[in-house]
A and B are shown apart, each in its own frame.
Chain A
Amino acid sequence: MSFTAFIALVRRDLRLFFMDRRAVIMSFVAPILIASFFGYVFGGASADQPASRIAVAAIDQDRSAISKHVLAALGADKALEVKSADLEAARAAVRGGKTTVAVVIPAGFGDGAAKSLFRGGDKPEMQLLYDPSHNAELAMVRGILTQHVMEAVSSEAFSGGTGGTGGAGPGLSMSFSMPYTVREEAVTARQGVKYNSMAHSFAGMSVQFILFMGIDAGVMVLLLRRSGVWSRMRAAPISRFTIIGSRAASSAIVAMMILCVVFGFARVVFGVRIEGSFAGFAGVCIAFAIMTAAFGLLVAVLGKTPEAARGIAILATLLLVMLGGSWVPTFLFPQWLQSASFAVPTRWAVDGLDATIWRGASFTAALGPIAAMLGFAVLFGAIALWRFRWDGPA
């Protein structure tokens, strides 16, 4: 082996690599950015930052001392964000993804629980309505709830407020048992419809890969600019709207086709059904396809060359899909990041698809995500048209 040649070739490769600034940025910045994101989401970057709290709705139909004690304890728990609600509102909030768990304390719960603590027998039943896409949080709420119920019931029972120990009588041996039972109900589109975890998975991945298609569409515009085809189009008596509008339309059509094929596969193979409004689902898909087309046009103005634009766009897309919840559900984000994620179109896309596919959202409920995505499409399209370099030599 010629050592001189070897060194020269290595030096050449390193020089070429570092001369491509965007490749360098992608190679160094992307892993730092993604690693930081996941580390932050799963580990917490700082103890100063408030952790994300689980949204819980509390429905107190008992209004006993025990139920009030339980709700007060839940409200004081740092892991939970508890709001009082009536049953129907709570169910709607869980179905809409705004609340993770609804805790329903039925009438007579306090009295029955105190008695059951010593005597067993018929135990009162507490109901948990939960969002089936948040199973990990349900387990956490269940544990916290058990702790607070046991505290409240035992406190009341031993203080004699509900006559629990009095009922046992002096001299009788006492044995403790769990003083209540729990009935859990996954809140889906409607009763009897089971949650299919594939729905969220397919929504997230569709969004990600359609955005990648959007990048290719944008890069193709730049490649066209380099070729004589662009010159020939510009020389023809057609408007720039025809040229760029046709590009956007074809991107939107491809995006729609991808959505149809992907969700068609999910329907046939995994039984994913559109449990909400089909018109709403179609509207979300169309709005996302239009937004993707506009995103593709934006890509075409991000860099002067196709290579540069592709590098920047991939980085931007990775950020968008991370923040949109395609990889990790947004409820795992810190609270501020959950709020901030509404500033990216992917969050609206994933939420809109989730809502119309398995949450059973109506067309009216889908209008929010549709409007948001169309708004992003207008913004991206306006920037693209403003920044697009039309002039170019033959």
Chain B
Amino acid sequence: MLEVRGLHKRYGDLVAVQEVSFTVRPGEAVGLLGPNGAGKTTTVSMIAGLVTPDAGEVRIEGGVVRGETDPLKRKMGLVPQDLALHDLLSARDNLALFGALYGMRGAELRRAMDAALDLVGLADRAKDRVSAFSGGMKRRLNMAGALLHDPAILLLDEPTVGVDPQSRNAIFDNLEELKRRGKTLVYTTHYMEEAERLCDRIVIVDHGKVIANDSLEAVRRLVPGVNVIEIEIENPGQGAEWYGGLRALDGVDSAEWQGSLLRVTMRDLTETSPGVLEWLRAHGYRCLHLASQRADLETVFLTLTGRSVRNL
């Protein structure tokens, strides 16, 4: 459905995207993951035609997208990171404008607007000015604007930025419904739990390069330590690497301090966790709480890059 081949973009001395390639099959939801500045938005911008790549190409159903007016662009709908809405216009007037960009008018446009507003749960607010909407409602309307021309592929660039948990859930309900309808989704985010909930496949980008590209399960298997223990410490040490000695213990794959929690990954919970607790006790650190879980994408990213997504 969508093929991205060797995309490359440089801004002066900064290489924003290097040789990014991946394929998205029809009906598939692909998560483009990475920290802020990793090159996700630049990649999506090149796919959508907003940024001209220095090298590489984008293919849709086998055809290379060329130029601003290429009809292949109709097969994509973009949900940009910044809200694409005119605050002084009503929700319906906003949608009418975006539909007109794709040549829609009359009854066809009215039907499309009704369907989009219905999907995002804003049918009863259609005539209200966007300025009166909450942040979550604006985000939902922002998504509706990309659905009018019934694109096969939806490019969603961090569509849940800045919304409350309730609105995020509402947006996810919409996305899951779109997935059920067979839409192909390309979803950029640095929220790992979002990608885990929605995506069939994960493309991890860091410093402009693809460092992992596989199914969710296969990406998880990239992590040698499939178990994580999170330990709440009463008296954490001073300095950046007070816990660094843990990494030298047999069986410990990584150790990371996140806020008030120490996250330690390991292959064998039974064999390794006692050693971790013993190290903490020996160094005078008191454990207030301990929990274990399976490795998630956050852990994958941590393992692949040595850095936490959220701390970047």
Binding site for B on A (CB under 8 A): 226-229, 231-240, 391-394
Task: Establish whether residues A235 and B71, one from each chain, have CB atoms under 8 Å apart when the complex forms.
Answer: no
Binary per-residue interface labels of chain B (45-75) against chain A in the complex, 1 for a CB within 8 Å, 0 otherwise? 1001111100000000000000011110110
Tell me the bound Cα distance from A237 to B101 in angstroms: 8
Task: Establish whether residues B49 and A234, one from each chain, have CB atoms under 8 Å apart when the complex forms.
Answer: yes
Residues of B within 8 A of A226 (CB): 82
Task: Establish whether residues A393 and B78, one from each chain, have CB atoms under 8 Å apart when the complex forms.
Answer: no
Contacting A228 at CB < 8 Å: which of B76, B83, B155?
A: B83
Task: Establish whether residues B51 and A232, one from each chain, have CB atoms under 8 Å apart when the complex forms.
Answer: no
Q: How many Å from the CB of A196 to the closest CB on chain B?
A: 39
Q: B273 at interface (Cβ–Cβ under 8 A)?
A: no
Q: B206 at interface (Cβ–Cβ under 8 A)?
A: no
Q: A235 with B50: in contact, given A227-B82, A228-B82, A228-B142 (CB under 8 Å)?
A: yes
Residues of B within 8 A of A236 (CB): 73, 98, 101-102
Q: What are 23 A-B pairs with beta-carbon distances under 8 A?
A: A227-B82, A228-B80, A228-B84, A228-B142, A229-B86, A231-B48, A231-B80, A234-B48, A234-B50, A235-B49, A235-B80, A237-B68, A237-B73, A238-B101, A239-B68, A391-B51, A393-B45, A393-B50, A394-B41, A394-B48, A394-B78, A394-B82, A394-B157
Contacting B52 at CB < 8 Å: which of A227, A235, A391, A394?
A: A391
Binary per-residue interface labels of chain B (76-102) against chain A in the complex, 1 for a CB within 8 Å, 0 otherwise? 111011111110000000000010011
Task: Establish whether residues A232 and B45, one from each chain, have CB atoms under 8 Å apart when the complex forms.
Answer: no
Interface centre among B42, B44, B69, B146 (most CB of A within 10 A): B69
Tell me the bound Cα distance from A228 to B85 in angstroms: 7
- The B contact surface, by secondary structure, is loop
Q: A394 with B80: in contact, given A231-B48, A236-B102 (CB under 8 Å)?
A: yes
Q: How many Å from the CB of A199 to the closest CB on chain B?
A: 36
Contacting B50 at CB < 8 Å: which of A227, A229, A238, A394?
A: A394
Q: How many Å from the CB of B113 to the closest CB on chain A?
A: 15
Q: How many Å from the CB of A96 to the closest CB on chain B?
A: 46
Q: Whose C-beta in chain A lies nearest to the C-beta of B101? A: A236
Task: Establish whether residues A232 and B145, one from each chain, have CB atoms under 8 Å apart when the complex forms.
Answer: yes
Q: How many Å from the CB of A310 to the closest CB on chain B?
A: 20
Q: Whose C-beta in chain A lies nearest to the C-beta of B44? A: A394
